[in-house]
């Protein structure tokens, strides 16, 4: 009786190991298949990009002759979002505001100057996608030079504000330090802006012009 019980348990253990082995083989096969598919899709995408380039050039040539609306055939670097004639990049690393300005310069851009709803929606969607529960991203807006006078990093005035009205932003709240809140983040869930201390660390949104397709 005792012996039987023992072998029964051993048989059970062997079965478990066997099942475990099967599951791990199956999941590594699934991973291989996924990788293959990603590779294949990338090839197809490159092909489509090429096609797009050619068609766009062709269209532009034709459009010149028949007063059709001219479109610019532009593109953004890998991993940048393409919105209109602009490209946007959302980082995952976090820096303070002035370091974020430099980080954007290092990749040939500037902190984002969000002037249209279309740009807003695109970066917020991407923010939700890559950020998960994380929501705040630096944009190139501050009143660092003169309290209450919000300016973009290219010195242009703020014309279309997207402040969070529910929380009466911007409120220059002093709870984060005596310097108040002179820099702005976009909240990708609330889809509007908050002023925060410039010394805080957030990921950033960089921006640059899309380049003409060659």
Ligand X SMILES: *[C@@H]1O[C@H](CO)[C@@H](O)[C@H](O)[C@H]1NC(C)=O
With binding defined as CB under 6 A, does residue 70 bind ligand X?
Answer: yes
- The pair of three-digit structure tokens given for residue 13, joined into one six-digit string: 């253990």
3-state secondary structure of 76: coil
Q: Which is nearer to ligand X, 128 or 151 (CB)?
A: 151
Q: How far is the CB of 143 from ligand X (least distance, A)?
A: 14
Cα–Cα distance between 67 and 84 in angstroms, integer? Answer: 21
Q: Which is nearer to ligand X, 75 or 128 (CB)?
A: 75
Binding mask 163-182 for ligand X (x = CB under 6 A): --------x-x-x-------
Handedness of CA 32, 38, 42, 45 (dihedral sign): positive
Residues that bind ligand X (rule: CB under 6 A) add up to a total of 14
3-state secondary structure of 9: helix
Asked whether the beta carbons of 157 and 181 are under 8 A apart, the reply is no
Binding mask 23-62 for ligand X (x = CB under 6 A): --------------------------------------xx
Query: Which residue from 51, 72, 116, 211 is in contact with ligand X, where contact means CB under 6 A?
Result: 72
**DSSP secondary structure code for residue 176 in this structure:** G
DSSP secondary structure string for all residues of 30-71: HHHHHHHHHHHHHHHHHHHHHHHHHHHHHHHHHHHHTTPPP-
Q: Binders of ligand X among 84-123, rule CB under 6 A?
A: 85, 96, 98-99
Residues that bind ligand X (CB under 6 A): 61-62, 65, 70, 72, 85, 96, 98-99, 171, 173, 175, 198-199
């Amino acid at each position: 009786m005792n012996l039987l019980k023992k072998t029964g348990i051993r048989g059970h253990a062997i079965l478990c190991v066997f099942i475990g082995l099967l599951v791990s083989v199956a999941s590594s096969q699934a991973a291989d298949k996924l990788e293959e598919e990603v590779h294949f899709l990338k090839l197809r995408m490159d092909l489509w990009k090429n096609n797009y380039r050619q068609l766009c050039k062709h269209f532009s040539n034709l459009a010149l002759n028949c007063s059709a609306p001219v479109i610019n055939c532009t593109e953004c670097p890998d991993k940048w979002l393409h919105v209109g004639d602009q490209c946007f990049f959302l980082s995952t690393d976090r820096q303070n505001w002035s370091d974020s300005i430099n980080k954007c310069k290092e990749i040939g851009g500037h902190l984002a100057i969000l002037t249209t709803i279309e740009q807003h929606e695109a970066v917020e969607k991407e923010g939700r996608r890559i950020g998960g529960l994380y929501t705040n991203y630096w944009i190139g807006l501050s009143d660092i030079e003169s309290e209450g006078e919000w300016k973009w990093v290219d010195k242009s005035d703020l014309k279309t504000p997207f402040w969070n009205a529910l929380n009466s932003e911007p409120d220059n709240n002093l709870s984060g330090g005596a310097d108040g809140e002179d820099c702005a983040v976009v909240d990708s869930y609330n889809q509007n802006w908050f002023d925060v201390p410039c010394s805080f660390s957030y990921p950033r949104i960089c921006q640059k012009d899309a380049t003409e397709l060659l």
